[in-house]
Amino acid sequence: MSNVQFHEMPDRRKIAYRHTSGSGPTLVFLPGYMSDMDGGKATSLFAEAKALGRSCLLLDYSGCGASSGDFADGTLSKWRDEVLALIKAHATGPILLIGSSMGGWLMLMVAEKLGDRLAGIVGIASAPDFTEWGRSEADQAKLLAGETVYDENPYGPEPTPMHPGFWADGQANRMLDSEIAIHCPVHLLHGQRDADVPWEISMRLSKALRSDAVQVTLVKDGDHRLSRDSDIALLKAAVSSFY
């Protein structure tokens, strides 16, 4: 995909994004941990939005993809502020947030700040609070002591790091143990063969959300990515229900 543009933050961080204008709420896709806007789900949604004349915004968090910065400096709070800055600068009208994995945690943090502009949210293997339930006590002790923890990466040759700054910020933004003050319609998709984020996390999230308009779709043979053609068709159908 082409047409990458850059939004400059006050500290001169340059956030890469793609935007197509159109009708209806602006679809804003939030990628997962160490992911970017070139993934299959993001590009499929963008292409469909463009074909249907809908508004869509993709972005890379600082330190990821084509954006400037060091991944080691990234935190959920920092990336939330980047998403909000791009929405303010480049999106008009209501906002439909789609978050994948870590992006499903970030979409909740963004959603709380959007107020009346929030039209709905769609979560894909949403992973709120994974700095807590996704880390052993031994790992948390290392992170608390300022040590980076590395995990095996099933999607590439290099191990996946979790830096102490990201972990500390995540711990400060945990959401599942209290009511989440989001009132809009919500659709959560989760594969029951997800080896990274247990599908029960989406069930916990559905209970924590204040909204009564929450739908959870479990894909019995679905993995973490939910990127097969059938999974993407399911995602597109969920998104289309908001138009």
pLDDT tens-place values along the chain, 243 residues long? 568 999 999 999 999 999 999 999 999 999 999 999 999 999 999 999 999 999 999 999 999 999 999 999 999 999 999 999 999 999 999 999 999 999 999 999 999 999 999 999 999 999 999 999 999 999 999 999 999 999 998 877 889 999 999 999 999 999 999 999 999 999 999 999 999 999 999 999 999 999 999 999 999 999 999 999 999 999 999 999 999
To the query of whether residue 183 is one of the catalytic residues in this protein, the response is no
Q: Which CATH architecture group holds 5-240?
A: 3-Layer(aba) Sandwich (3.40)
To the query of whether residue 223 is one of the catalytic residues in this protein, the response is no
The answer for residues whose C-beta is within 8 angstroms of residue 123's C-beta and 6 or more apart is 98, 99, 104, 107, 186, 187, 188, 189, 190, 202, 205
> Which one is catalytic: 60, 129, 169, 194?
194
To the query of whether residue 163 is one of the catalytic residues in this protein, the response is no
Identity at 27, one-letter amino acid code? L
| Sole residue written with tokens 């039209």 | 119
- The domain spans of the chain are 5-240
> Which one is catalytic: 35, 202, 224, 231?
224
> Which one is catalytic: 62, 101, 126, 202?
101
